[in-house]
A and B are shown apart, each in its own frame.
Chain A
Amino acid sequence: MASLYQSDRNKYECSCGAWDSLGLLYFCRHCSVTRCSSCVLVELDCFLCQNCLESAPVTEARLKKNRCFACNFCPFCATVLTKKTCVNSGNTFLSCGVCRWSTRDAGIPDQSKTTTDWPMPENPLSKRLNEISGHFKDLETREKARKEKDTTKRRTNFGGFDASKFSDRFGVQKMIQARKKAIETPASTVESHVATADVPALPDDVFESTAAIQLPLNVINKQPLVEETTLLPVRLPLKGRKAIRCRKCEHHLLKLDYSPNAINYKISAFARNTIPEIRLSRGVELVVGQQSSILLTLLNHSENGMQIILTPDADDSAFEIVTESIDITLSPLDAADVLLGAEESKYSAASSSSSSNIVFQRRNRVGIRLDLCPKVDFKCLPLSLKFKNIHTTAKLETSADWKMVKVRVGLDK
């Protein structure tokens, strides 16, 4: 659990040179390197409603203005509203389980049982807004056509070559005609707004009447000037789901299962499943000028056995190295063994050249002692971690290579 709670104590070096904790790194098997959050591509997988888990492709989500039509939240407390059925009429209304607000309070008529999309009142300005957006679309096509005409003229100027004499095999003529039409038809016009000095005054109580109600911010955003009695339910915004790719080879490093109901990963290339984890197993007391030991635990979270060589980084002048390097083999963890309590002998301590530095070995973890002599007081122990794991490459026929990752173990309390 300590690896969950203090995951930022020990930093691993990413292939891009940044340092991050192991849990936040990925390992691309195709490039055989680590990737961190700043050297991956994040893409939007799909949109989904966090309440009904209905997913929507990007185009549909845009049409729906990124909101779920079936789910609404309470304008008072932002809890998702539940559908209730009226005993007498069989019609449904929405009600909040926390503050007991209901669509009946807002004077919205009950809907029939079969309605899935709760109706929203029409924006009184929607006709005008559509007019304006249509006008801008028209302007856009005209500008585009004119720009295209200018660029293509230069390219197809063959001196007296008349394209219209040939059959329109590739639809070029059609395209040119459409463009011509776009330029020649008169631009649509919309009524522009006229400034007026005749503005109705705000009612005197406008600042007092609504001030007493504490509403969620996204409700104030949508319904800024409403009274308590005229609040409307708010459609639930959709959430985007991320997928992560390697920046270089563009293979997926993280992708969730297609169905939003499923919580498992389809692809997950977490560095934790490839690189051994290092933890400080006990608090460190360092005395300058005296030989001290640092107790570390190495864990193998991968599905394969791993060969590890751990060396303190020599180019650091903060301490004098006593233990040159530690060479160990770590077995993978078999989840069934943990449940069944299988005997430890199965994970017999593999051959090791530096067994005097091994404190304990249990299943997929090994405790080691690193002796060194500090010259000054230092807060961070640099290590070079060499490991050989079959999982580091995507190619099946090749045998595993030695990989190296630099680690900084935080020593302060």
Chain B
Amino acid sequence: MEQKKDITILPGDPAALVVETSNLSGKIKFSSGCIVHPTASIKATNGPIEFGESNLIEEQVVIENLSEDPLIIGPNNHFEIGCVIHASSVGKNNVFGVRSIVETGAKITDGCSIGPKCLVKPFEKLSPRTVLCGNLNCERRSNDDPPSIASQMDHLRLVIPKYNKIIK
């Protein structure tokens, strides 16, 4: 069943860059400064998805809302290549590592860093600045937020419009 696309891109400076080759479905709202790479899938299957400012969504990422409640994602999150997010809420300044998985109903607060290929179990709640890493899903607490990716975002804002069509 093909779902109707209902994309809202809020105006702002810097403008959000959502490329046409990304797979979007359902009711999605992007705030200013968000960047969505090609082949990223964002599916508001049952409920809507709202992105805060300056989220970076890389290639092959899957963000899906399976519940009927809206999925609110805070600002400055970094979704690295191939991560799968079925969370029920995401705070700010989080990093989701390459091919990490956040299962249904998990709650991610602020400043968490989920390592490559790590798993957040269904309905788990991660307290602020939790770090998951290693093949054993080692859990630690950091005393700092993940480093800022602002300079990377600035570079992407220059490069992406040169090679991709952007949804207006």
CB distance B136 to A100 under 8 Å?
no
Stretch from A16-24, A51-59, A101-109, A248-256 that touches the partner = A101-109
Q: Give the number of residues in A that approach B within 8 Å (Cβ atoms).
A: 14
Stretch from B35-43, B53-61, B141-149, B154-162 that touches the partner = B141-149
Is A318 at the interface (CB under 8 A from chain B)? no
Interface string of A49-86 (1 = CB under 8 A from B): 00000000000000000000000000011000000100
Report the nearest A residue to B137, measured CB to CB.
Answer: A214
CB distance B146 to A100 under 8 Å?
yes
CB distance A105 to B115 under 8 Å?
no
Interface size class of B (residues with CB under 8 A): 10 to 19
CB within 8 Å: A-B pair count: 38
CB distance A99 to B144 under 8 Å?
no
- Write the nearest CB–CB distance from A226 to chain B, whole angstroms: 15
Say yes or no: A98-B133 contact (C-beta < 8 A), given A76-B138, A214-B138: yes
Task: Write out the residue numbers on chain A whose beta carbons fall within 8 Å of the beta carbon of B144.
Answer: 95, 100, 102, 104
**Chain A contact surface mostly:** loop
Q: How far is the CA of A213 from the CA of B134 in the complex (A)?
A: 11
Q: How far is the CA of A131 from the CA of B115 in the complex (A)?
A: 47
CB distance A99 to B136 under 8 Å?
no
Is A228 at the interface (CB under 8 A from chain B)? yes
Name the contact of B143 in the complex, choosing from A98, A99, A102 (C-beta under 8 A).
Answer: A102
**Chain B contact surface mostly:** loop
Name the contact of B131 in the complex, choosing from A84, A100, A104 (C-beta under 8 A).
Answer: A100
Q: How far is the CA of A406 from the CA of B144 in the complex (A)?
A: 65
Is B113 at the interface (CB under 8 A from chain A)? yes
Task: Write out the residue numbers on chain B whose beta carbons fall within 8 Å of the beta carbon of A214.
Answer: 134, 136, 138
* Chain A residues near B (Cβ < 8 Å): 76-77, 84, 95, 98-102, 104-105, 213-214, 228
**14 contacting pairs across A/B (C-beta < 8 A):** A77-B133, A98-B115, A99-B115, A99-B134, A99-B138, A100-B113, A100-B140, A102-B142, A102-B143, A102-B144, A213-B138, A214-B136, A214-B138, A228-B140
